[in-house]
Structure 1
Amino acid sequence: MIRAYIPKYKLVEQDGGRNYYVYALEISYAGKLSKIEKRYSAFHRLYKEVEKSYITGYFPPKRIRNTSHKVLELRRTGLEAWLQLVLKIQPIPNSLISFLEVSNYQHPVDTGSAELEPKEELSHQSLLVFPKDPYLSPDSQPECYSIERYCSVNTPLADTITKGVLVALYDSSFMVDVS
């Protein structure tokens, strides 16, 4: 998965007096972070290329009346929103991969399913409820508060963590020594 952000823009001053702005992109792919700078005109060329095959929605206008911080920031946020939208297209257009200067990109293998996102396995077990509410009497607690009903694994470590959280949240005599 490619992630790209435009955190800032900056003014590039030339000797001839023709100054222009570039947008700094941060691209993350395969555990590597790269930073590149692109002018608005490069974004506009990419927009025209992608629009031939896909409807991508709003793109910031080419002409701006002034170069105040507010106007340039609106353009930056508009470009970033458009870029995020185009990155969701599957498969990612080759023109976008070239624009982002991503090397060794491999398109995901189509398994024939209708899903666009690959399934990712959770690496942790989610906590749904506390085993018991400490302020309710044991007779008044409904059966649905049983942790065994919601979790397939009841480990001593999970019990220890749950007890620690309950003591820290509800036991008024619990004090942490910060000295």
Structure 2
Amino acid sequence: MPPISVSIPSFRLENNHIERGYTVFRIDVLINGRQHVVEKRYSEFHSLHKRLKKSIKPPEIPSKHVRNWVPKVLEQRRHGLELYLQTIIMENEVLPKIFLDFLNIRHFPSLPKTESCGSLDTDSTESSKLSHQPIMVFLKDPYLLPDPHGLSGTFPNVVIEGVVRGVFYTDLQPR
């Protein structure tokens, strides 16, 4: 199961006196057990599609030209847009930042399928990739799981001691 799942369970029609009516699609985003809702118009999907074509090969997007007020057509568009988002997630090893921004996903370092927030240079695709590597990885939580080798307590204390020394004894660090 991917760390991000999306669905478009519903849509609503918006009418106001300033501009012509339009449809708003509700996107449910589930990421690492947390859910939030994003609402987007079709024009925002279309803009995302044009921007994604610069970095990946996105799937086909539902047609731009439909009669907006026919419920059956709107339901087909809702389903097509849902499939569009799900296909992008499933087919891409690294999800582009513009896609994550579209879904209002800001900073989730535990996701394996994301790029970094990037640098200020947005023209270069190389500069938008995270170049840092983790220096320590725990395969199990050392505080919760018993150590079968009898070393429990040794390693976590070293980590805590290092942090305490780094915070409180900064004058002892080499210059």
**What is the TM-score normalised by the length of structure 1?**
0.57
Partner of 1:25: 27
What is the identity, as a one-letter code, of the residue corresponding to 2:67? Answer: R
Matches within 5 A, 1:19-168: 19-88=21-90, 89-106=92-109, 107-108=111-112
For the 8 Å contact 2:5–2:30, the answer to whether it is kept is yes
Aligned-residue CA RMSD in angstroms? 1.9
Partner of 1:8: 10
Report the CA distance shift for 1:90/1:12 in structure 2 as closer, same or farther (over 3 A): same
For the 8 Å contact 2:93–2:113, the answer to whether it is kept is no
| CA–CA distance in structure 2, aligned partners of residues 62 and 41 of structure 1 | 8
**CA deviation vs aligned residue, 1:67-93 (integer Å, no higher than 9, x gap):** 201111111111111110111211111
**What is the TM-score normalised by the length of structure 2?**
0.58
| CA–CA distance in structure 1, aligned partners of residues 41 and 68 of structure 2 | 17
Report the CA distance shift for 1:28/1:16 in structure 2 as closer, same or farther (over 3 A): same
| CA–CA distance in structure 1, aligned partners of residues 74 and 107 of structure 2 | 33
What is the identity, as a one-letter code, of the residue corresponding to 1:93? Answer: P
| CA–CA distance in structure 1, aligned partners of residues 57 and 68 of structure 2 | 29
For the 8 Å contact 2:13–2:21, the answer to whether it is kept is yes
| CA–CA distance in structure 1, aligned partners of residues 84 and 50 of structure 2 | 13
Equivalent pairs, count? 110
| CA–CA distance in structure 2, aligned partners of residues 63 and 99 of structure 1 | 22
| CA–CA distance in structure 2, aligned partners of residues 71 and 39 of structure 1 | 15
Query: Larger C-alpha radius of gyration, 1 or 2?
Result: 1
**CA deviation vs aligned residue, 1:30-76 (integer Å, no higher than 9, x gap):** 22110111000110111111122222232101111352011111111
Unpaired segments ≥5 residues, structure 1: 111-179
What is the identity, as a one-letter code, of the residue corresponding to 2:86? Answer: Q
What is the identity, as a one-letter code, of the residue corresponding to 2:112? Answer: P
What's the secondary structure of 1:72's corresponding residue? helix
| CA–CA distance in structure 1, aligned partners of residues 89 and 113 of structure 2 | 17
Report the CA distance shift for 1:23/1:66 in structure 2 as closer, same or farther (over 3 A): closer
For the 8 Å contact 2:95–2:113, the answer to whether it is kept is no
| CA–CA distance in structure 2, aligned partners of residues 21 and 99 of structure 1 | 17
Deviation for aligned residue 1:109: 8.2
